[in-house]
Amino acid sequence: MKRTVRQYLLHFFFILLPVMTYGTERAWSSDLHTWTVEEIGVLRSLSIDSLPPLPKDPTNKYADNKKAAILGNIFFTDSRFSGNLKVSCATCHPANRNFADNLPLAHGMGTTNRRTMPLIGVAYNTWFFWDGRKDSAWSQALGPFESPVEHGFTRTRCAQIIIDHYKDDYEALFGPLPVFSKRDLPALAKPAIDEPVSLKAWITMPPDVKDAVNRIYANMGKAIAAFMRTIIPAPSRFDHYVRAIVEKDQKSAIKILSSDEVKGLRLFIGKAQCLNCHTGPLFTNGDFHNISIPQPADLPADQGRADGIAKVLADEFNCLSVYSDAPRSDCGELRFIDTDTDKYAGAFKTPTLRNVAERAPYMHAGQFSTLHEVLEFYKNLPPGQRSPELGHFDLNDREMHQLESFLRTLSGPLIFASD
């Protein structure tokens, strides 16, 4: 039977045209923002709405004490705790810049061998520093004071400043300060193996004075940790997008992220395999990985976590120490620490990707100056050096741009105690 022109036209308008346009329309809008149940599960796991309440810190009984947090914030910004009266924690971790300094290597009294870490969601960490050589935020805080290239200070001088300037605030929280004679607190004393004069001054102090100084020092750290604990991220554009998707509000979702950003998100959770390490609402598994970042030629070799393991086990302020408030049973992470140094040679802690676009340069020694360089690194790593967890990375230029666009959606305000 011959078809009439009318039949052809009807066929075209009611069957062919809808079929032809259906695909393009989907690709344009709704399809891009349509996620499977499993994908929505992944998006939710990354969203800030999945951030659990702050984990308890049994090693620090002042962790959730508001007055301790206020005092800790003051210590954090007080540059009298430094050899040249110019360096405070905030020098390298300024609150108005995501608590980081945008330098490849941090600069205090001198220059460090590593890059300043962001403090976003710091209380969710199990291990601290790029190599995890500390197991609590308060014991971490005691490191920079005595580092010659950071505060260039000593714990005896910290104790003296507490006595001279913070007596009332300190005693209101931690109880009476011991009474020291001037001779009891030699300014230079600290247990620094590579600083013989300071070491000798420390060793020759009576054990009860050393213990009393250590207690003041530990309490300072506990107040600072109570402050740092309050630094948490607020929702970013990515989080608003996930909320809209979960609520099946596609109309809003489309307005929150551009199509390139959503395509980048699809790559992040799919083909690019970033989720192997950058998981959960802080985009980190908190673990250590050697991803073959080249060490800058002018810096000493850095074994990262492989050296951090022995350091945290030997740390005089760790969970099992007399200065920790935790019972031994709460120190499982330290007692059952993975001591496989071969596995952790050259491994560094997976950093959070929240606010990542705001804090170039990147990696443990600031090896890359832009996000583009980071992605080029992941892309160009030769197969021989590519850890199996990194997967293949055959993204084209367009996809590289999309992935980078997605990373930029993770920026949002930070909330902390003084707000």
How many other CB atoms sit within 10 Å of the CB of residue 271?
A: 15
145 lines the binding site for ligand HEC (CB under 6 A) = yes
Q: Least distance (Å) from ligand HEC to the CB of residue 355? A: 9
> Is residue 115 within 8 Å of residue 103, measured between CB atoms?
yes
291 lines the binding site for ligand HEC (CB under 6 A) = yes
**Sequence letter at residue 134:** K
How many Å apart are CA 129 and CA 140, to the nearest integer? Answer: 8
Q: Least distance (Å) from ligand HEC to the CB of residue 1? A: 59
Q: Least distance (Å) from ligand HEC to the CB of residue 22? A: 33
Number of residues engaging ligand HEC in binding (CB under 6 A): 53
Nearer to ligand HEC, 29 or 369 (CB): 369
Q: Which range in 60-68, 125-133, 248-256, 312-320 contacts ligand HEC by CB under 6 A?
A: 125-133
How many Å apart are CA 219 and CA 215, to the nearest integer? Answer: 6
* Residues 209-248, mask of contacts with ligand HEC (x by CB under 6 A): ---------------x---x--------------------
**Sequence letter at residue 409:** T
Q: Which residues of 179-218 are buried (b: 16+ CB within 10 A; e: fewer)?
A: ebeeebbbeebbbbeebeebbebbeebeeebbebbbbbbb
Phi, psi (rounded to 5 degrees) for 222: -65, -35
Our CA dihedral for 320, 323, 329, 330, rounded to 10 degrees, sits at -100
106 lines the binding site for ligand HEC (CB under 6 A) = yes
* Residues 49-88, mask of contacts with ligand HEC (x by CB under 6 A): --------------------------------------x-
Q: Least distance (Å) from ligand HEC to the CB of residue 139? A: 10
> Is residue 379 within 8 Å of residue 325, measured between CB atoms?
no
How many Å apart are CA 161 and CA 119, to the nearest integer? Answer: 26
Q: Least distance (Å) from ligand HEC to the CB of residue 127? A: 7
> Is residue 357 within 8 Å of residue 411, measured between CB atoms?
yes
117 lines the binding site for ligand HEC (CB under 6 A) = yes
Sole residue written with tokens 């913070």: 166
> Is residue 93 within 8 Å of residue 140, measured between CB atoms?
no
Of the residues 35, 62, 124, 130, which one makes contact with ligand HEC according to CB under 6 A:
130
Of the residues 92, 212, 256, 410, which one makes contact with ligand HEC according to CB under 6 A:
92
264 lines the binding site for ligand HEC (CB under 6 A) = no
Q: Least distance (Å) from ligand HEC to the CB of residue 156? A: 16
**Long-range contacts at 85-94 (CB < 8 A, ≥ 24 apart):** 87/150, 87/151, 87/152, 88/151, 89/141, 89/144, 89/224, 92/116, 92/150, 93/119
Chain contacts with ligand HEC (rule: CB under 6 A): 87, 89, 91-93, 106-108, 112, 114-117, 119, 122, 125, 128-131, 137, 140-141, 144-145, 150-151, 224, 228, 272-274, 276-278, 289, 291, 293, 348, 350-351, 353, 356, 362-364, 371, 374, 378, 387, 389-390, 403
